[in-house]
């Protein structure tokens, strides 16, 4: 026995020494240990538990795990961004139209001249509260079109009218104003460009879709880096799941599914929700197990494509070079541009009733200087 343990004797001696040392300082050691464990537990809890406790809003049948998780503190922080601006006082009718009163009116011809100026005031508040009228106008001659922002703003007026009249399927009775996207700043959240492949060279872990590179638009995941171009500008199919038992001729690849997931992360992030806001995650493809929100989202997809193709993209040459993308394209709209992190912009409140002229039908002519 002693022979067998001989090689371990120095270890045993050391352990014995340690044990007697501990016994010697026992009281202090135990207090120190308890304090360390308590501190670790507190730090752990601080980082694990949210304050106040998050609320789970049930969205589907019991047992499906379908819910939206909200933290009241974070929602309260968001509320500041989600307030509809107080409307300007109503205008006293001038009795003549903007076209009669002014020289160069191409969109709002039939609007009462005083209401026209009221809208100009609101546009200033929504887009350029600091720069004022001079953001779009040469103050010596308001009819002059030489500042590019005025040309963009004219097309934006037509875009807003088109959203409110032609895309009721998505914006319903709520509608949008310039504030929905701009919220007091010239460049709205999340405007984006076509992304060329991020690297000329490839290595073993990088597919040519640019996977395995964390992309902010895909929530920092390693899903494809630009899910917006194929789905919100082009019309690549989003559905990837077979609809019949195998073999079913479904040719969708894992790679395509990655693109769909990348887009879905953009949806969820833009609205500040989880996948279960729209899906029962046991069967992403089943419409009758998902929520009505998925139908709203489905209507948004062709709307965003229309805005990007017919309103934003043709403005490429109007925007100054420094505001264009790497491929010289115009900035574009995504889900976050209107939603700004809320499941509904302004949580369903609307500024449109104060400016009903923004819900009028539009003439579709692009402004002078833009490319078809």
Q: Residues 219, 251: contact at Cβ < 8 Å?
A: no
What lies within 8 Å, CB to CB, of 240 at 6+ separation is 252, 256, 257, 260
Q: Smallest distance from the beta carbon of 39 to ligand HEC, in angstroms?
A: 36
Phi, psi of 36 (to 5 degrees): -65, -45
- What is the distance of C-alpha 330 from the center of its chain? 18
Q: Smallest distance from the beta carbon of 89 to ligand HEC, in angstroms?
A: 14
Q: Encode 289-328 in three state secondary structure.
A: HCCHHHHHHHHHHHHHHHHHHHHHHHHCCCCCHHHCCCCC
Cβ distance to ligand HEC smaller for residue 204 or 254: 254
Nearest to 346 by CA among 171, 187, 191, 190: 171
Q: Residues 284, 241: contact at Cβ < 8 Å?
A: yes
Please provide the size of the chain in residues.
372
Q: Smallest distance from the beta carbon of 33 to ligand HEC, in angstroms?
A: 43
Cβ distance to ligand HEC smaller for residue 241 or 365: 241
Cβ distance to ligand HEC smaller for residue 9 or 347: 347
DSSP string over 89-145: PPPPP-SSBHHHH-S--SS-TTSBHHHHHHHHHHHHHHH-TTTGGGGT-BTTBTT--
Cβ distance to ligand HEC smaller for residue 159 or 210: 159
Cβ distance to ligand HEC smaller for residue 13 or 291: 291
Q: Smallest distance from the beta carbon of 359 to ligand HEC, in angstroms?
A: 12
Give the CA dihedral 205, 207, 209, 212, nearest 10 degrees.
-10
Cβ distance to ligand HEC smaller for residue 66 or 333: 333
Cβ distance to ligand HEC smaller for residue 301 or 316: 301
Q: Smallest distance from the beta carbon of 49 to ligand HEC, in angstroms?
A: 24
Q: Smallest distance from the beta carbon of 15 to ligand HEC, in angstroms?
A: 53
């Amino acid at each position: 026995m002693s022979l067998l343990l001989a090689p371990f004797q120095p270890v045993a001696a050391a352990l014995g020494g340690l044990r007697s040392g501990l016994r010697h300082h026992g009281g202090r050691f135990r207090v120190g240990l308890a304090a360390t464990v308590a501190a670790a537990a507190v730090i752990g809890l601080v980082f694990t538990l949210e304050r106040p406790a998050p609320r789970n809003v049930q969205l589907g049948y019991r047992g499906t795990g379908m819910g939206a998780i909200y933290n009241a503190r974070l929602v309260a922080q968001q509320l500041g961004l989600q307030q509809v601006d107080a409307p300007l006082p109503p205008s006293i009718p001038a009795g003549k139209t903007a076209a009669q009163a002014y020289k160069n009116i191409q969109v709002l011809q039939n609007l009462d001249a005083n209401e026209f100026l009221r809208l100009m005031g609101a546009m200033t508040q929504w887009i350029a509260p600091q720069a004022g009228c001079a953001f779009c106008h040469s103050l010596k001659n308001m009819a002059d079109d030489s500042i590019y922002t005025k040309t963009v703003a004219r097309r934006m007026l037509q875009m807003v009218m088109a959203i409110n009249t032609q895309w009721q399927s998505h914006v319903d009775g709520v509608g949008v104003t310039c504030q929905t996207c701009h919220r007091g700043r010239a460049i709205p959240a999340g405007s984006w460009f076509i992304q060329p492949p991020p690297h000329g060279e490839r290595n073993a872990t990088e597919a040519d879709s640019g996977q395995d590179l964390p992309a902010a638009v895909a929530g920092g995941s390693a899903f494809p880096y630009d899910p917006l171009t194929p789905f919100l500008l082009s019309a690549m199919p989003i559905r990837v799941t077979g609809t019949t038992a195998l073999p079913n001729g479904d040719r969708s690849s894992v790679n395509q599914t990655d693109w769909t997931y990348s887009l879905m992360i953009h949806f969820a992030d833009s609205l500040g929700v989880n996948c279960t806001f729209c899906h029962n995650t046991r069967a992403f493809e089943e419409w009758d197990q998902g929520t009505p929100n998925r139908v709203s989202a489905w209507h948004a997809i062709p709307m965003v494509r229309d805005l990007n193709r017919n309103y934003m993209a043709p403005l490429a040459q109007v925007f100054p070079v420094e505001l264009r993308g790497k491929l010289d394209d115009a900035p574009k709209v995504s889900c976050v541009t209107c939603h700004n992190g809320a499941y509904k912009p302004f949580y369903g409140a609307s500024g449109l009733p104060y400016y009903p002229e923004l819900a009028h039908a539009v003439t579709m002519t692009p402004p002078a200087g833009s490319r078809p």
